[in-house]
Amino acid sequence: MSVHTELAHPSNLTEKQNSFTVPAPVDIYENKDEILMIADFPGVATEDLNIRLDGAELHILGSPSATYEDAPPLTFSRTFRVPNTVDPSSVTAELSHGVLRVHLTKAEAAKPRRITVHSSTE
């Protein structure tokens, strides 16, 4: 199974006017239960982070709040196409030390399943 990733056109994502949009560096991991995305959002507080699942697209935007008072405002952003094996209602995220972790839990039906073979008796 592959995770398709792409960078959407930044102008579609920028929320703060006249801000610089910087792509956030991202790591993507996967195990049998979930896809885990880890991204750098330095200086961004929980309330300034905007995570949106729009159909199959996951948009993440964040602006550092008061960090760079006189510098042009920054927006970190990234967009990913999420495979349809992910259960949209189960997406969770946590932010710590400027690092965001997004857990995309796979739908039950998409998880690998061991099939027991029964011996047939004649």
Partner 1 sequence: MLTRWNDFGLINFHYSRSSFDALRQEIDRLFSGFERESGNDPSFDPDRGALGNRTWPRIHVRDTGKELKVHAEVPGLSEKDLDITVEQTSLTLRGERATEAPEGYSVHRTERRALKFARSFTLPSRIDTKRATATLKNGVLELVLPKVAEAQPRQIQIKAS
**Which residues here bind partner 1, judged by CB under 8 A?**
2-3, 5-7, 20-31, 35-36, 38-45, 64, 67-68, 70-71, 74, 95, 97-99
CB of 120 to partner 1, least distance (A): 36
Q: Which is nearer to partner 1, 2 or 121 (CB)?
A: 2
CB of 38 to partner 1, least distance (A): 7
Q: Which is nearer to partner 1, 51 or 99 (CB)?
A: 99
Q: CA-CA distance, 62 to 90, in Å (whole number)?
A: 21
CB of 77 to partner 1, least distance (A): 11
Q: Which helix (H) or strand (E) holds 103?
A: strand 99-105
- Give a three-class secondary structure readout of 29-86: EECCCEEEEEEECCCCCHHHEEEEEECCEEEEEECCCCCCCCCCCEEEEEEEECCCCE
Q: CA-CA distance, 36 to 78, in Å (whole number)?
A: 15
Q: Which is nearer to partner 1, 6 or 57 (CB)?
A: 6
Q: Which is nearer to partner 1, 13 or 39 (CB)?
A: 39
